[in-house]
Amino acid sequence: MTPELRQEIGDIIGKTLSQVGYHNAGTIEFLMDKDRRLYFIEMNTRIQVEHPVTEMVTDVDLVKSQIMIAAGEKLADVLQGPIVHRGHAIECRINAEHPEKFTPSAGKITTFNPPGGTGVRIDTAAYAEGTIPPYYDSLIAKLVVRGKDRSEAISRMSRALGMFIVEGIYTTIPLHRRILADPDFRAGDFDTGFIERFLAKAK
């Protein structure tokens, strides 16, 4: 993704949503092929679980903005100026799952020590002695980091994952650590088949 292509996509999306009269937060998803051609997948007319990534690189509080717009505020007044992208952000979804078998891991959390530091954000309601029930989505935390570029973001995420201690249940933290250490991932050489190839290499 280049700044020019991002601007081009933004202009097209802005014009399209204006024509259909859409005036609030939403997420539009695309796939890009090796020739940088984009293919529309879907639009979700709501905040998505990945919204902290956008917040980290734009400093725009999307949830607050969505509420203000729904209350009648104008988008220009909510944003108070142009959106500026700063740095690179990565999110790891920490799930209560076995990191190799991907089976759910319900139970009591005996230790919960989240990471911190510069450029680190964690969204969670989990805590030590809390119980992960078997009835809902297995997401227990969203760990998000920002760096000046992708390399720094990867380094900060690797450090944060190493600091993140959850005991009593299995989590996907070990899987995330292995992915971030993978040479192909670090080089940006990945596509929709990456995880399948990555897991095959681990066997």
Q: Which residues are catalytic?
A: 46
Note whether 178 and 136 are within 8 A (CB): no
Note whether 139 and 94 are within 8 A (CB): yes
Query: CA-CA-CA-CA torsion for 195, 54, 39, 31, nearest 10 degrees?
Result: -10
Residue 158, CB-side half-sphere exposure with 13 Å CA sphere? 13
Give the integer Cα–Cα distance in Å for 200 and 203.
5
Residue 140: exposure state from Cβ atoms within 10 A (0-12, 13-18, ≥19)? buried
Note whether 105 and 120 are within 8 A (CB): no
Cα-to-chain-centroid distance, residue 129: 26
